[in-house]
Structure 1
């Protein structure tokens, strides 16, 4: 791997007082990554770690190159997508040929690690409903799919699940641009030829494999479909699908020039939100990977550690792959297909009687007098999972609630019922 050659000599050069350029910064980062590799003594673990760090170095090098050449989006070329590239879900054929499911694979990604909720592990392991975790509910979804669609030969056996580690990239110290960490720590043969892939976040319990969308993908011969939904006040910072100089692109807040942030957040300019429910034609994906390859857009995010030190996270969004597919478009889906849990206010909503579980996915409470979900605002005293459970001994009934704002260090006990404003 080219980034790890001659680590000793590169490491020595780090101590010389030379102007920081993208080239010298990348070489210094390479030396630090090589040092990190040396902290992993286990050969098997080291091999996987090397793969991760090689991928990280490619991303970091692209990030540095982009900064050096001033590569950024030209705001004047950004427009909302044309109407023909945004298809309303209601306009799709309601009758679907279920045979397509035999060619579909489902990929659930963990998304974030839930650090904003005080979590230190995979968010999919969080209990969210009736003592079940996100992963439990996902398995229920697939079990129901296999049984009703007869898509798996093992319908009377446990669901076959293949797991993998998502890319683990080190955070970067904002001041020095060096890595934060100092130490590293089936049956696989497919029964059917897979042609399509449905990707969604594990914390979005509204994201189930939909036969109507799959049928549309097959009949329209689409290569890539992004599910989008109408923005609300809580989604103003979320990524959106745009037309960029004649082609579809995913636009994230981190890519927007500072002077256009308010333009980006305006629902008058951009009305739709990327749900990260993605449908991919695997044959088209293979053609791209075998050809020009696929460089996903790099998004720079600034975060702060517990001791207040500024760090940079380099992220890539799966949805940014849309720019590589010729036959791509968006489908405007109902809000019920986008029920994410990004904070403890979202968690309260999902755990409450606003929803019930049906075959692993959330179903809206039809007895609620309002068709929208209540607005919930919790103070920082409820920020972490531990704080949340300490203050809510039991989950209150909020079926008749419109707005809840909690400020201060408040504890709720017993069987509480929240109604109105």
Structure 2
């Protein structure tokens, strides 16, 4: 007896009909939505919450321009990563292993794994903070619950890519709707918001660390690797015409998904700017929650917790998926998903057990991400420029120049922080 097609099977069939031109309108777009939405979770994770709250509480709207620039950089590199997977049918980690020597590949893998652990530290602890405050339980209980929930949801991968995509999309929608509600509650000077979104300023040398944290929290190394994997085998492409059509669809999805993520990040800063001045000391997740109730009401505080929990849960799922892609791509083997989840959770439990400051740990995890970020960015540019790999889809010279400026921007911020740490610049 024939088995009924799964949700993933039906999605792949719909994708084929869209690419062949037999499906039109909104019905043609829905099956294409997925990879960029999943990747966008990396841009609204708890690390973003910490960096954005600190930016708004300390400097008001002044660092909004960093969020805008970081989001534009993210759009570009996520689109290029998706393009790579569509055109080659392989992901960035696999292509890196083919291109570089074994020692270089191993070094890239270890650095990327370090970034993955830094990512998971922010996502896992941030979600656990939201859960512990929401349910009034201890942080370790919240972390353990988060771990169980993540493992249960990851098991959905056994049914194909579509069910988990829908769950993640639902969590992203919850985060977005939550911050729309926060903006309706929080008072904002929209003229100042617009001005600081487009006019760069760095109020003092200490803001450099926050700028790097904002970039690290927004442009995520593991999301670049994951996005190239999510698009590589989504549907069978028979010729360059279908590949070009899929790339166009992918670019639109990236713009849509990351515009939503960017607006959520800006909304976080705008909400945190309510703490600026008399409440400038509020720069932690717990502090933000406890201050929101008297400042904006219990509804605002509850919405904040719900969005934080959705953020931590969805980003933990995505980080674990990315870790599997990175390990299989660079070194060619996989481990059971539950073992990987336990290993990446371990640093978070150690940080809490040692009594470390949660907010500082989360912010510095984002700085670590920013230092690792140039690695996948430069690798992606090198491979995307190679005609032997990309054929007629290779990156042109003008686009390469623009991308190089983006890499330089991230690298200059990193070097500035190193000089500050060495005492060669004021900190």
User: What's the TM-score, normalizing by structure 2?
Assistant: 0.25
The structure having more radius of gyration, on CA atoms, is 1
User: Which has a greater percent of helix?
Assistant: 2
User: What's the TM-score, normalizing by structure 1?
Assistant: 0.25
